[in-house]
Chain A
Amino acid sequence: MSANPPSAEPPVDPHVDDPAVAEPRTAAGEDPTRGPALGAPQDSAPRNGAPQDIASQDIDEPPAGTSFLAYFGRKLGGAAISMLMVILLGFFAFRILPGDPVAKIARERPMTAEQVAALRAEYGLDQPLLVQFWDYLTGIFTGDMGESYVYQQSVSSLIAQYAWPTLLLTGTAAIIAIVLGLWMGQLAAWKRNSLFDKATTGTSLILWSVPTFWLALILLMVFGGTLQWLPTGGMVSPGVEPGTFAYVIDVAEHLILPVITMVAVIYAQYLLVMRASLLEEMSADYLTTARAKGLNEDGVRRKHAVPNALLPTVTLVFMHIGGLIAGAVTVETVFSWPGLGKLTYEAISGPDLPLLQGTFVVFSAAIIVMNLIADLLYRQLDPRVRRA
Chain B
Amino acid sequence: MSTVLSPRAVAFNRRKAAAGRAWKMFLQDPAGVFGAVVLVIVSLIAILAPVIADRSMLDVTQQLDQPRYAPPSAEHLLGTDNYGRELWVRMVWGARVSLLVGLAATAMSMIIGTIMGMAAGHFTGFLGGLIMRIIDFFLVLPSLLLAIVLSSVLDRGVWTIVLAIGITSWAGTARVVRAQTLSAESRLYIERARVLGAGHWHIIVKHLFPAVLPLVMANTTLTVGTAIIAESTLAFLGLGDTTQQSWGTILKNAMDVSAATSGYWWYILTPGVAIVIVVLAFTLVGRAFESIANPTLRSR
Check whether chain A touches chain B (CB < 8 angstroms): yes
Residues of A within 8 A of B (CB): 16-24, 28-29, 31-32, 34-35, 38, 78, 81-82, 85-86, 89, 93-94, 97-99, 101, 104, 192, 205-206, 208-214, 217-218, 220-221, 224-226, 232, 275-276, 279-280, 319, 321-323, 325-326, 329-330, 333-334, 344-345, 348-349, 351, 353, 356-357, 359-360, 363-364, 367-368, 371
In contact, A344 and B148 (Cβ under 8 angstroms): yes
Which residues on the B side are within 8 Å of A101 (C-beta)?
153
Chain B nearest CB, measured from A100 CB (Å): 9
Within B209-265, the residues touching A (CB, 8 Å) are 211, 215, 225, 229, 232-233, 236-239, 251, 254-255, 259-261, 263, 265
Which residues on the B side are within 8 Å of A275 (C-beta)?
300
Pick the contact of B283: A89, A208, A217, A364 (CB < 8 A): A208
Which B residue sits closest to A37, measured CB to CB? B191
How many residues in B have their beta carbons less than 8 Å from beta carbons of A? 66
Binary contact track B267-300/A, C-beta < 8 Å → 1, others 0: 0110110011101100110010010001111011
Contact sample, A vs B, 16 pairs, CB 8 Å cutoff: A19-B295, A21-B180, A32-B182, A34-B124, A34-B186, A93-B153, A99-B153, A213-B232, A213-B233, A214-B275, A217-B272, A232-B261, A326-B143, A329-B145, A330-B233, A356-B149
Q: Given the known inter-chain contacts A98-B154, A326-B142, please indicate yes or no for A211 contacting B229, CB distance below 8 A.
A: yes
Which residues on the A side are within 8 Å of B150 (C-beta)?
93, 97
CA–CA, A329 to B148, complex, Å?
A: 10
Chain A nearest CB, measured from B157 CB (Å): 11
Which residues on the A side are within 8 Å of B295 (C-beta)?
16-19
In contact, A205 and B280 (Cβ under 8 angstroms): yes
Given A322-B145, A326-B143, A356-B149, 5 new contacts (CB under 8 A):
A32-B186, A209-B280, A221-B268, A279-B300, A280-B296
**Count: A-B pairs, CB below 8 Å:** 205
Which B residue sits closest to A215, measured CB to CB? B272
Q: B92 in the interface, Cβ–Cβ < 8 Å?
A: no
Which B residue sits closest to A207, measured CB to CB? B276
In contact, B268 and A218 (Cβ under 8 angstroms): yes
CA–CA, A104 to B151, complex, Å?
A: 12
Chain B nearest CB, measured from A77 CB (Å): 10
In contact, B145 and A192 (Cβ under 8 angstroms): no
Q: Which of B1-9, B40-48, B72-80, B129-137 contacts A (4 or more CB under 8 A)?
A: B129-137
Q: Which 10 A-B pairs have the closest CB atoms?
A: A326-B144, A322-B142, A209-B279, A214-B272, A325-B142, A21-B183, A209-B280, A221-B260, A99-B154, A217-B260
